[in-house]
Each structure stands twice: as structure tokens, then as C-alpha cells.
Structure 1
Amino acid sequence: ESLKDFEKDKYIFLDTEVAVKSFKDIDFFQDKVRLVQIGNREKTYIYDMFRIPEFSKHLKKLLESKGVVGHNLKFDIKFLKTNFDIFPQIVFDTMIASQLLSENEREKHSLQAVTYRLTDDELDKTQQSSAWGLRNLSKEQIDYAAKDVQALRDIFPILRDRLNNIKTPHKATGIIHETFSLDNAAAVVEMAFVPQLALIELTGMPVDEKVLKDQLQKVSSDYQRMYIDFVRKYGVDPFSPHKITYWLSTKLGLKLPKTQKGSLSSQDSALRKYIDREEVKQLVEIRSTKKILDKLKELSSHTKNGRIYSEFKQIGAPTGRMASSRPNLQNITRELRKLFKTPEGRSLIVADYSQIELRIAAEYVGDNTMIKAFSEGKDLHKFTASLILGKPYEDVTKEERQMAKAINFGLIYGISPKSLMEYARNNYSIDISMKEAQKFHERFFEVYSGFKNWHDRVKQDLSKKHSLVVYSLLGRRMVVHRFTEAVNFPIQATGSDLLKMAVVFFGKLKNDLDAQIVNLVHDEIIVESSEENSQKAKEILSQSMLKAGKILLRKVPVEFEVEIVGTWADK
């Protein structure tokens, strides 16, 4: 009967309260939904799911057919999916909306903070972590649950209107745009992405538990042996920066570079030229083994039934880039990727966009030389090397291509010749002199004059205004204060938009196919499917990536690789 009140509504307001064993370590598979709060403009209903579990089938029809407005909806969607197999997909997340509008990284985006910022109302959250598993809930708990729906009612129209006031180059389309009258294309993509990310988190990444356990034991004993040997031999703790620096410079007589603060640096990059010395080799090796050991411990502590369930922060940076934690699945080294393999009868499909940042940069800046090179199917690193070194494209060596990689990625973001030297050494193990760095810097901006003009324009604008508003190619709005942000953010943000659009398209196009995205790493998408569906999943993934690419890149062709692999490391 109560649901009849929502028949005419295009969208409803939703919140849940959950009975959990620990608020620090929520278990989406074992913990239970206690209350579901639903409201429209006039009414709020609270359903006690402990008393009426069979009501979930009626809720399913409602929540899967209408628009749903909520705050941090990924949380509610995960619980609705595991408890009742309810999966809302037409959503407006007020937390995501607040993050998209934010101009300050320190701004908070809880429901309490957003409500206070927009309406001056103080939401009392003392009941949030109260005992929701009690047989009889208190009046205070029920009132608290209802107030969250009222807060959504108040903040939703303000957030939507502010998003709509941002002029974007792309016109929003589709069911989310129509349901919520949301015109901001970047916001529509983020909202469509929320349920997809909830699914990714619930599916988890397949891992070979036995190989992980064996590897952990092996690396742990290797590390202990190396550590003890090192301390016995040299009488210094390899993990005390102060002692190691003193030992390297005084006892071994090494000339170490200085950090920005003026102290001596003993980082791996500073030691690279001394790597032939046994003491340095051992130090670098012990450090790298410790990093691997820490990562293996982190992965092991989050493994359950052959899967690792990570948490993703949908907007982990102003550019829309995601962050992964508990454990971080975005910083897995090539060596450790071999641990990630599917069980018998399942396949992994790994896809990534090729040279996508440079393609986006060429499109964004409109640099004709770079656009032409991409249009002719050239490898841009080889192409840059041939232009800067003045030699035929075909004669460019592997080392020269690697050097051009550092030049391309460093200079499109406006780093100085001195920083280019450090960047090439630290990230690409390439040593170039200051004189060479200056020559390459000069030549790069002669060859790609579009970038020089863009950088000059940005510097001029910043010197006048001290802050700038920049946009991704989709229309994601960001406020920047520094030159490096002004030239980096629009490119990185377009990359985020592109990946999220591809994920949304994949979710739509696959329908009921037994295939699901299990991890995302900046420009890489990893899908798990049944073996018999792997070819079909690969085609749908390719289609989704191409479709997203063609929307954002009009002058530059989009390219990507999609492979069916045995383990994540095989790509």
C-alpha cells in the first residue's frame, strides 16, 4: 500500500541503516540491512527489514525502475545487492555531486558537512553507529533515520542546479539526464559509474591463494636473511635514512646528491650510478625485497575465498582519478601480477588504452604535428626521438625511444630542463646531461609549437588571475592555482572520464553475459568471464572502449589493446 505513494515520482530519496559487527570493518556479505528509508517530496516511509524481509521483492521493483537519490550510494547499493539482490542503476549521488563541485581539496563531503554547507542545518549523527541490531529500535533511532531523507530532499535540488550551471562542451543524454533533469555530462557519467563501481567491489579480484602464501613465505625468509647479513657485514640498519646516508657518504666515500631541503639523498635513484658496488647493490636489493614483502602482507590480509576485495574511492583526486585501498590494487608491480589468475573455467581479459595521455594532450592542445603523427599510426615516442635527434624514424633505437618517452611525458606537463634530467633518471633509468636536457627542451617546443603556445598562454593567465578554471574534454570543471596543475589536470581528467565512460558502456552492452570488471588501474580495465564467454566479453570491452574514445577524441584516433590472458602479468 505504502508504495502507491511513489507511483507518480520519477525519482525517490533513499537511505539505509545497517546492523554491523564492526563499523571499522564492515562486511557487505555478512552484515545486515536493518532499515530502508524511502521518501518523495512529501512523505517518508521507514521499513524495518528484520520484521518484513519478504517486502524486499516489492522494493526491488521500485528501486530498480525509478531514479534513486542518496548520499554515498555505493555503500547502500552494495548492501541492497548482497542482502536482497536489489541493484538500482538510475542514481544521483549527492556525495559525488558535492565532490564534483568542490574547489577545495580539504572540503569534507559527508552528508552532515554537505547539508550544513548548503542549508546551515546541523545534522545530528550520534545515532549513526548506534546498535541497529536491537530487537526494538528507539524513537531517537527512527527519527534519526527519517532526518537523513529530509537532508537529501533539501540538498539534491541545490546540487543539481549548481551542476547544471556549469557549461559543458558535451550535451548530457540518457536515462540519468532525463530522470533527474541533470544536464552536466561529466556528472551524468559519474552517476552512471556509481553502481558499476559497487559491482566491481563486490566481485573482487581473483587471486591464487596458494601461490600468494608460498610467495609470502619465500620473500619473508629471503628478507630476514638479507637483513641480518647486511647488519652483520656493515654494522648499519638499512632502514635508518640518517645512518645509511652517513655510512654511504663517510664510510664508502660516495658523492650523494642533495634533496630540496639540502640534506643528502640516499634514495635508489641517487645510488644508481654506484650500483656496481656490492654494498650499494645489496642495499637496493634489500629495499626492493622489503617493498615486495609489505605488498604481499597487505594482499594476504585482504584475501577471502580466492578473491581480494578492494575499496575504491570514486573521486580520489580533483581530476576524477580513482584511489584504491585496503588493499591498493592500483600499484601492483609486474612481478606480483602473476598472483592474479582465475580459477578453472574462468578467463581474465586485460585491456588498456595505448599512449592515451599523449593522444588526449594532442587533441586538447590541438597540436597539428602530434595529431598528424597519431593519424598516420606512428609510435609517438619513436616519432619524437626522430625529430629531436634529427634521425630517420626507422633508425631510432630502443634506448632513444625510452629517452623520448621521458621527454614526451615530462615536457607536455611543462617541467624544466633540470627536472627533465631527474625525471628521466628516476622514472626511465636514462641519464642525460644538463646540456642535453636544455637542447631537448628547446627542440621539443620547436617541433610541437602548439604546446609552447598553450604553456605560454596558461602562464600569462595565471600571472594575472592567480587561479584558473580548467575543463576536461567532457567538461569536468577544476580550479587550479599552479602552472603544473593547469597543464596536467585537463589531460588527466579527460583520461578519468574516458575510463569511466568505457566502464559504463561495458555494463550496459554486456546485459546478462557472465563477465564482470574486477579491477581498474588508470587506463587499464581488467574483466573476468567464463571461458566460453571470453571472446564475446573481449568484443564488448573493445566496443565500449572505442565508443568512449570516439566521443572524446575527434581529431586523434583512439587505440587500445585487449587480450585474453592466463594471469594479469601476461599482458
Structure 2
Amino acid sequence: EEKLIYELLLSSPPDQVAVDVETISLEYPEPIGLSIAVSPTDAFYFPILPEPSTYLTDVIKLLQSPDILKIFHNSLYDLKALAEYKLDQSNIVDTLIMAHLAGERFADLPYLANSIGIELPELPKIKQWIWDLTLEQIVTKCCTDAEATYALYQHYKDEVDAEYLAVEMKLIPILITMSGKGIRVDQPLRAVIEAELADELKVYEDLAEEQGFNPGSPKQVAYMLAKDGVFLPMTKKRKSLRTDEATLRKITHPIAVLALTYRHSKKLYSTYIRPLTGEDRCHTNFHMDAITGRVSSARHNLQNIPKGRMRSIFLPDTPPFTDLDFSQIELRTLAYIAQDDAMQAIFDSEGDIHQA
């Protein structure tokens, strides 16, 4: 195997390689090993944890070279996981993005691999940590994922418009930098809002306790409403009563109002305020796999911060904040591609097509 590593990978590096990274978990994306594929059937695994491979330094140098095309599937995740190694990001390609550009709605690796006749090995489901698998299973997963990624690149490279792909790839380093930098958090203000929300929740919980129910329990909310003659519709599977926001908003009963108000404050408290305790900066993970083509984010979802006091806890590094947004970009694009005179006339007059 050592001879193969040097012959196929290190002594005369190939023009392109596929890379896959295994991390401790999605929540703790510390790399434990990576795999390099030089073809759809040849890959090598290099451990990082608990003991790094003797070849790891040479492999990292290989991936730092701008002369070698690095093929990833979900490069935003893999490159961020390997950030400490400062891999080259100028000559990369992502088969996840290629698949979307080719019109695929679902772009997870097993699905795409299966679509081109590659069946990835079935392994035990990872419950929480990658260590739920044996070392042999980890190596198998990492190597076969890298080989499948290489095969997907070969499959899509002539199908995808090169100019579109180049534009998408230029965004990858920008999003990685943005994710790593994060945004400042005003901790004193965050603490004030946390205390206010805690007080609000206590008031709502006390009010509900006087009535004999838990405002956070959908079943108890439905029961209390039914006791007062307000009967909610059943869910689609007809296993319980519907207590979602849209349903409760149609009801003027005080219990429905209390449940909604409690849920709103609880969501702000548990999703946006408490998780940022002690954090000087808030970071997010960007994704480019939305069907709409837009960038999305998660852990923390900075693109979905409620307006008002929740947004006030974030501070610009250099005031003020600059807010840029494309106006009706999808419809403008449609009007241009379709050359629709009526739509173009609305946009030319700075109108709002939604109200035309």
C-alpha cells in the first residue's frame, strides 16, 4: 500500500483528486480522517485522529497546491472542517452543486451515486458520533464516498455549463470566510433580553398553571380548549388535534392566545438567546443546496432572525450595517429570459410586479 500511495498519489501527483472528510459528528465537525480518490475505484484513507498518518503532511501539501483540481461533495462542509490546514480553494469543484446545476432536486451522495449505477456499502446508522462505526467501517465509508465523488464529477463535467459552475465555485471561499468570521454579539444586551424573556415565560407559565395546564403541551392546550367547547380539527393522520400556529390564530379564546404567546417567547428564548450565552461572535453554516438556488444557513440560522429586539443583539464590526438585497430577482430573471414585454415594462418603471 505504501508503494501505491507514492506511485499513484505522491511521487507524481494526478491532475485531479476527489476528497472526502470524516468528522466526529455534524455538531462537532473536527476531522478524524480524510480520503483521496485518484479514480472511481482507487482511494486512500489517511487518519487524523487519534493518531495522524505518517503521510498526512505530504497529503496536505498536495491539497494545498492550486495546480491540482480538488473534487468535493459538499465542499462548504469539508473545507471548513479542514480549515486549519489552509487547503487551496482556487481550484475546486463540488459535485453537489454540479448536480443542482444539472437539474437534480436531491443531491445527497448515496442518491446521486445510485443514479449512476454506484451502490455505496450499507453501514450501521451513525446515532451520534462517527465512533459508532468501527475503524474498518469508517475507512470503507470515507474511501467509497471519495470514489463516488470522483465518478460523479466524471458524469457531470460535460453536462454542466462551465460558466455557471465557475460562478458558483467562486462563492465557496467567500462563504467559508463569512462563516468563520461570524458576527459580533452584544452580550450585555443579550443578557438583558434573556432576563426579560425569562420573566415573560414565568408569567405565562403561572397563568397556565392557575388554569391547570402546561402551555407548552399541545395535548393539554387542545384538552383545555375542548373543555370550553372549542373543538380543534384533527391532524392529517387523525392521531391528534391540530394545535399549530395557523390553527390557533383562528381562535380568539384566551387559552389559544396564551399558548401562542408562550410559544413565541419560548422560541426566542431557546433558539436565539440562550444558545449565544458567552459567545462573542455568532457563527453559521452556509449551504448552497436549496432548490431555489439561494444560500441557506443553519446552526445558527442567521438568515432567519426575527425582526425587532432579537436583531438588536448583533453588532457590525465597523458601523453601520449595510443592507443589500436584490429586488424581485427571480422574477426579473424570468422576465429577461422570457422577454415578456408586460413584465419588463413593470420593472422598467420601478413597479412591484406582485401588485401589478
TM-score, length of structure 1 as denominator length? 0.48
Report if the CA contact (8 A) 2:46-2:56 is conserved.
no
Higher helix share: 1
How far residue 13 of structure 1 moved from its aligned partner, in angstroms, is 1.1
In 2: Cα distance, 1:76 partner to 1:95 partner: 12
**Aligned runs of 1:496-507 on 2, under 5 Å?**
none
Match of residue 313, structure 2, among 339, 343, 354? 339
**Letter of the aligned partner of 1:313 in structure 2?**
H
In 2: Cα distance, 1:247 partner to 1:142 partner: 54
Question: Is 2:353 the counterpart of 1:374?
Answer: no
What is the number of residues matched between the two proteins?
Answer: 339
**Aligned runs of 1:461-472 on 2, under 5 Å?**
none
* Alignment partner, residue 91 of structure 2: 90
Match of residue 300, structure 1, among 274, 291, 296? 274
* Alignment partner, residue 497 of structure 1: none
How far residue 201 of structure 1 moved from its aligned partner, in angstroms, is 2.8
How far residue 12 of structure 1 moved from its aligned partner, in angstroms, is 1.0
How far residue 271 of structure 1 moved from its aligned partner, in angstroms, is 6.5
In 1: Cα distance, 2:233 partner to 2:132 partner: 55
In 2: Cα distance, 1:249 partner to 1:144 partner: 52
* Alignment partner, residue 3 of structure 2: none
How far residue 247 of structure 1 moved from its aligned partner, in angstroms, is 5.1
Identity over aligned pairs, percent? 20
Q: Deviations over 1:85-138 (max 9, x none)?
A: 223232222233345546565xx722x443343234544667x94699xxxx98
* Alignment partner, residue 220 of structure 1: 198
Q: Deviations over 1:184-203 (max 9, x none)?
A: x3x44444434433333333
Match of residue 208, structure 2, among 224, 230, 243? 230
Match of residue 205, structure 1, among 174, 183, 191? 183
How far residue 338 of structure 1 moved from its aligned partner, in angstroms, is 1.0
Question: Is 2:293 the counterpart of 1:320?
Answer: yes
In 2: Cα distance, 1:142 partner to 1:295 partner: 36
Unaligned stretches of 5+ residues in structure 2: 1-5
How far residue 219 of structure 1 moved from its aligned partner, in angstroms, is 0.5
Question: Is 2:67 the counterpart of 1:65?
Answer: yes
Report if the CA contact (8 A) 2:45-2:143 is conserved.
yes
**Letter of the aligned partner of 2:324 in structure 1?**
A
Match of residue 5, structure 1, among 9, 12, 34? 12
* Alignment partner, residue 309 of structure 1: 283
* Alignment partner, residue 288 of structure 1: 264
In 2: Cα distance, 1:151 partner to 1:124 partner: 14
How far residue 68 of structure 1 moved from its aligned partner, in angstroms, is 1.5
* Alignment partner, residue 119 of structure 1: 117
In 2: Cα distance, 1:142 partner to 1:125 partner: 11
Give the alignment's Cα RMSD to 1 decimal.
Answer: 4.5
How far residue 159 of structure 1 moved from its aligned partner, in angstroms, is 2.6
Q: Deviations over 1:353-385 (max 9, x none)?
A: 23445544544565534422321234x27xxxx
In 1: Cα distance, 2:259 partner to 2:277 partner: 31
Q: Deviations over 1:1-46 (max 9, x none)?
A: 865623xx5x41132555x5x425324xxx3564563636998666
Report if the CA contact (8 A) 1:311-1:324 is conserved.
yes
In 1: Cα distance, 2:267 partner to 2:185 partner: 19
Cα distance change on mapping 1:5 and 1:148 into 2, 3 Å: farther
Match of residue 154, structure 1, among 126, 140, 151? 151
**Letter of the aligned partner of 1:315 in structure 2?**
D
Report if the CA contact (8 A) 2:40-2:151 is conserved.
no
Cα distance change on mapping 1:347 and 1:84 into 2, 3 Å: farther
In 2: Cα distance, 1:41 partner to 1:269 partner: 49
**Letter of the aligned partner of 2:67 in structure 1?**
S
Q: What SS class does the counterpart of residue 293 from structure 2 fall into?
A: coil
Question: Is 2:9 the counterpart of 1:39?
Answer: no
Unaligned stretches of 5+ residues in structure 1: 165-170, 174-184, 382-404, 409-447, 449-571
Q: What SS class does the counterpart of residue 23 from structure 1 fall into?
A: coil
How far residue 224 of structure 1 moved from its aligned partner, in angstroms, is 1.6
Report if the CA contact (8 A) 1:212-1:339 is conserved.
yes
In 1: Cα distance, 2:149 partner to 2:122 partner: 14
In 1: Cα distance, 2:91 partner to 2:132 partner: 31
In 1: Cα distance, 2:140 partner to 2:221 partner: 60
Cα distance change on mapping 1:248 and 1:358 into 2, 3 Å: farther
Q: Deviations over 1:204-239 (max 9, x none)?
A: 33322332233223202221222212331x444444
**Letter of the aligned partner of 1:329 in structure 2?**
L
Q: What SS class does the counterpart of residue 353 from structure 1 fall into?
A: coil
Q: Deviations over 1:439-472 (max 9, x none)?
A: xxxxxxxxx6xxxxxxxxxxxxxxxxxxxxxxxx
Q: What SS class does the counterpart of residue 352 from structure 1 fall into?
A: coil
- Greater shift after overlay, 352-361 or 258-267? 258-267
